[in-house]
Amino acid sequence: MLKIGNVKLDMPVLQASLSGYSDRAMRTMARRFGCQLTFSGVMLDKSVCYKPFLEKVCNKIRDEEHPIGGQLLGTEAKTMAQAAENLYNAGYDIVDLNFACPAPKVLRRGRGGAMLGNPGKIIEIFRAVKNAVKCPVMMKLRIGVDDSEGAREDFLRICSDASAQGVDALIVHGRTTNQYFRGKADWNVVTELKKQYPQMVILGSGDLFEAQDIVNKLKTSGVDGAAIARGAIGKPWIFRQIKELLDGRLTAGKIYQPNIKEQGQIILEHFSLLKEIYEPRKNVWYFRKFLSHYGRSHSEPGKVRRELVTAKDEAALIDTIKKWYGV
């Protein structure tokens, strides 16, 4: 149903790279609910060029994680190519180049979404990476640095050149870099891009939070797939929901939604996976950003989220989960 180079998926959705979130624990939870392709968190090219970086527990990949993609952030072709080669040699199945990140600290260094103003440099990097690895290479873009005519022309030039150079897929987020996450993602641009380049694999991104809306966007836009990022935080079951909707296999005519006890079990499983990766002192405070999202699915979200994110240690957190979720 979705093919990115030699990687074939039965479902046209993937868990996108998400800085500070998409570690092995989050990826494992996504796979449990049917997501076939997940991506690492964003990695700086200079860090990946330092080979021991990929030997860290938090960066090692396991056999059961394939296929898995690694996303790189950088500005120089030579460094990005070396980093990509290191990812490939470490077992990554896809390399994704990030020219979309809108974080101020990234933009200040000319990385991510700031690169959209330099189409020639982006294609130079892409060619260098493509020549360095024997796996699919894709790129993540926004629809321009800003909403000016010149910025849109730069974006379209990048897409045209990428298509001509044989990019394996584009993930296109329907916002400009300057928009950050404000306003609504413009899926019309993504739709028109797919019409212009029907032979190119294009995945839409932006405002993908509810399964039914995601399926609707896939059907109306004509894109090949969707890259889900923020919508999967604290809701890994969104992938099962999407699959059920696409397959038309709803239970009693209703979309799957884990009950309160199931949610508690999912949270505990996610937390146990984090304990395999991080030091005990880090686990609880690191998990808070996930807990805030998990709590939104509870019938009493305000109270639950407040108590989950203020738990001071593991014992207090487990007690809070037991109290509110009955596990």
Q: Running along the chain, 327 residues long, what does each successive block of 10 average in pLDDT?
A: 96 96 96 97 96 88 95 98 97 98 96 98 98 98 97 98 98 97 96 97 97 96 97 98 91 86 98 91 93 96 96 95 96
Helical H segments across 70-201, by residue range: 77-89, 104-107, 119-132, 149-164, 187-196
Please enumerate in sequence order all residues whose Cβ is within 8 A of that of 15, keeping only pairs 6 or more positions apart, or say none.
22, 26, 27, 30, 35, 37, 38, 39, 227, 228, 229, 232, 239
Quick one: fold of 2-247? Answer: TIM Barrel (3.20.20)
49 touches 86 (CB < 8 A):
yes
Domains in the chain: boundaries:
2-247, 260-325
Please give the pLDDT value at position 251. Answer: 67
pTM (whole model) above 0.85: yes
Please give the pLDDT value at position 250. Answer: 78
Q: Which helix (H) or strand (E) holds 214?
A: helix 211-221
Please give the pLDDT value at position 252. Answer: 63
Q: What phi and psi values does residue 140 have, to the nearest 5 degrees? A: -110, 130
Please give the pLDDT value at position 253. Answer: 73
The beta-strand segments (E) located in 201-286 are 202-205, 225-228
Please give the pLDDT value at position 53. Answer: 93
Please give the pLDDT value at position 54. Answer: 92
Cα–Cα separations (whole angstroms), residue 3 to 17, 150, 224, 239 = 18, 32, 9, 18
First to last CA, the chain: 37
Please give the pLDDT value at position 1. Answer: 83
Please give the pLDDT value at position 280. Answer: 82
Residue 321, both tokens: 């989960």
